[in-house]
Each structure stands twice: as C-alpha cells, then as structure tokens.
C-alpha cells in the first residue's frame, strides 16, 4: 500500500512538531476529575460549536468533568451535534460553571472581549486558561497553554491534532463534530484556507464514521421559512460598486425580529455579495441588540480583510473578518465604506 494512503487510513495525518509540543503542554493541565469549562465566542459558528463538542467527547472519555459554557445560546443549526449528550451544554448556567472551573479552555477566539458577559469571569478566574485557536490575533486571555496556529484551516483541525498527538481515540461523535468545524470554516472545503492537509484530515475523519451527506443536510439543507424570507429582504439591499470592486448588503433594522430568526440565520449571507462578478471586497452590516453595528468582511484575491477590520478594533482571517462599531447604521456604513474603498484601492491586484 502506498505510504501516502497508509498515513491517512492508518495512523492519521502527520502532526507539525510545534503543534505536537503545544498539545502535550496542554495535556499536562488535564487530569481526571478536573472541572473544565469550554467556551467559544459570542454567536458561535460551526467551527466554535464543532470544536467544543469534539473536545467535550475527547475529554469526557478521559474522565474529565467537562461542560460547554458559552456566552450566548448554542445555535439551533448545530444542536444536532449534541443529540444524546444534551447535558454537555451548560450555557444556561455558564457563569456558575466558569467560576467553579479548575481550568478553562477557550476555543476559536483569543480575545476576552469576544466572550461577552463571561469575559470578566474568565479574567478573574485565577485558574489556567488554555486557548486553541487558528486566528492571527495575539489575544488578551489570562495565562495558560496555547495551541494556536493560523495555518490551520479551522480550530477543529487543531483539536484533531491534539487528539492524535496524545493518542486519544477518535470516536464517531467526536469525528463528526470536528468534520463540521472544518467543513463550515472552509465553506464546504471551497475557501482558500482549504489546504491539502485540511483535506487529508477530513478524509481521516470520514473513516471514523462520519456521514458527509447527513452532515451536509443538517448544516446547509435545513432552513426555516423565516431565514429564507430574511435572505430575500437582505439581498434586496445589495449595492455594487463595480469600478471599485466592492459589494455590500444590509440587514434592515427589525427584520430579524419580524421573521423570528437570529444571528445564526445570517451565516453565509455575505457570500452572496462576495459572489458578484468583479467583487474584491464584500461586506454585511447589521445592528446588534446592544445598538452597535456589526460588520462582516469577506474578500476575493489579495485583499486582506483582517487588516481592514483591525482599523475598527476587529479581526479575523485574511479572507474573513469582522468588527463591531458604535454609531448609527448610516454613520457606520459611511465610515467603513470610505475606509474600504481606500483600502481596496491600495491593496491587491485589480
């Protein structure tokens, strides 16, 4: 059997030495009966949710008392990952579990500000705060082990590396969760962060009982009527500046309440603006419940939207980033779009 095939179907994909070292350092923190709180960012996405559930299964199998404790409710879109282990989600009592934890692991984010109301509790916990993340920001978490690599396609890839580095078995439920993490953060293995290694890891996860058709149906082919009607209204706001290579859409104020949807129903909407021919930078604007304006940035080609988002206190990846700003929707749009036009003109190829 060829060596490359054996590396996928047998012992798994080779682990970069730095990740293996970081995984072992994190493992030294994890002891049987340890109370561990898992947290991801507000309005968790597929990578955050999949990484949490995958790591929950891995730690629970080691006798660790682990709980998912998020700052915002677990998204309905990804609740299928919790079937049979619904008790793993302690988000409704998150603050209590964070305050009682012996250790905290923050996933898919390294900034306290993205932990919502749990940020102050994490900062004051006085216990090790580990971080597993694939973003480029330096972060502001308290000290603790770090398994961080911006070259990973998703945080789920790093959880896979953790498990393989430590020789932990990948059971079907954990494998499925990690597959969801990687699939969603690569846009169904379409985005530029889809590396050859990412696909090798996905192939190895499939060999651990993952049903790709079932996962696709759960994530992408099960939408509420409200989401479809919201999508129609948002797309009606599309503005395109073909001479500048910029397109954007806006969530009308009050539309989400009218259709009974929440933030997770906006996942992927900005991709419609990015798909407009000639677009180099796409944006989505929406007003948050606290009055701030959330801006999602997506790019095509050489435009590094993480740098653009950083101008407004945000961050993310080269191709996908976000920020939230004070001000009215109209004022924020004016400010951000002016900066976007200047940024696109100065960066990347036409």
Task: For the chain, list the domains and their CATH numbers.
Answer: 3-219 (3.90.1640.10), 225-346 (3.10.310.30)
The pLDDT, as a whole number, for residue 349 is: 54
Distance between CA 65 and CA 56 in Å, rounded?
A: 9
For the chain, the farthest-separated pair of C-alpha atoms sits apart, in whole angstroms, at 62
Which has the closest alpha carbon to 137: 273, 6, 321?
A: 321
Helix H or strand E segment including 240: strand 239-241
Each residue's pLDDT tens digit, 278-328: 999 999 999 998 899 999 999 988 899 999 999 999 888 888 899 999 999
Q: How far is CA 239 from CA 271, 335, 350, in A?
A: 14, 16, 19
Tokens for 234, please give them.
């948002």
- The answer to whether the CB of 311 falls within 8 A of the CB of 276 is no
Give the chain's end-to-end CA distance (angstroms, integer).
46
The pLDDT value given to residue 11: 62
Pairwise CA distance, residues 32 & 52, whole Å: 18
CA gap 47, 177 in Å, rounded: 9
Per-residue confidence (pLDDT) for residue 12, from 0 to 100: 72
Q: What pLDDT was estimated at residue 6?
A: 34
Structure tokens that stand for 271 in this block: 């991709």
CA distance 340 to 308: 7
Query: What is the reported pTM?
Result: 0.84
> How are strands ordered across the β-sheet holding 281-287?
239-241, 246-250, 281-287, 293-299, 320-325, 315-316
How high is the mean pLDDT in each 10-residue block of the chain (350 residues)?
37 90 96 97 94 98 98 93 97 97 96 93 96 85 95 97 97 98 94 93 96 94 91 97 97 95 88 96 94 95 92 88 94 97 80
Residues in contact with 271: Cβ distance below 8 Å, sequence separation at least 6, in sequence order: 187, 282, 298
Return the SS3 of 211. coil
Q: For residue range 116-133, what is the model confidence (pLDDT) as tens digits? A: 999 999 999 999 999 999
CA distances to 33, 140, 257, 266, 298 from 309, in Å: 41, 17, 27, 19, 10
């Amino acid at each position: 059997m060829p060596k490359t095939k054996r590396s996928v179907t047998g012992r798994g994909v080779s682990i970069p030495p730095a990740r293996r070292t970081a995984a072992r350092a994190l493992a030294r923190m994890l002891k049987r009966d340890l109370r561990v709180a898992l947290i991801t960012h507000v309005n968790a996405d597929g990578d955050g949710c999949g990484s949490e559930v995958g790591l929950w299964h891995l730690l629970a199998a080691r006798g660790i008392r682990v709980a998912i404790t998020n700052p915002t409710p677990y998204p309905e879109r990804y609740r299928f990952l919790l079937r049979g282990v619904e008790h793993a989600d302690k988000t409704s009592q998150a603050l209590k579990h964070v305050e009682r934890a012996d250790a905290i692991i923050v996933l898919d984010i390294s900034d306290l500000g993205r932990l919502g109301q749990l940020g102050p509790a994490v900062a004051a916990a006085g216990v090790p705060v580990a971080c597993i993340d694939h973003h480029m920001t330096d972060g502001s978490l308290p000290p603790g082990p770090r398994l961080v690599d911006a070259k990973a396609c998703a945080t789920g890839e790093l959880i896979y590396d953790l498990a393989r580095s430590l020789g932990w078995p990948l059971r079907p439920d954990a494998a499925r969760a990690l597959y969801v993490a990687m699939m969603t953060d690569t846009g169904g293995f379409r985005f530029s962060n889809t590396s050859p290694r990412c696909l090798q890891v996905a192939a190895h996860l499939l060999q651990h009982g993952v049903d790709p058709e079932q996962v696709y149906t759960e994530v992408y082919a099960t939408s509420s009527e409200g989401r479809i009607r919201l999508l129609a209204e948002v797309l009606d706001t599309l503005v395109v500046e073909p001479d500048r290579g910029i397109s954007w859409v806006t969530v009308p104020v009050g539309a989400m309440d009218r259709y009974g949807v929440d933030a997770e129903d906006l996942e992927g909407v900005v991709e419609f603006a990015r798909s407009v021919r000639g677009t180099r930078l796409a944006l989505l604007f929406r007003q948050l419940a606290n009055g701030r304006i959330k801006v999602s940035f997506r790019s095509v080609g050489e435009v590094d939207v993480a740098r653009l988002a950083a101008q407004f206190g945000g961050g993310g990846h080269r191709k996908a980033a976000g920020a939230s700003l004070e001000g009215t929707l109209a004022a924020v749009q004016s400010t951000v779009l002016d900066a976007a036009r200047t940024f696109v003109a100065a960066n990347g190829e036409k």
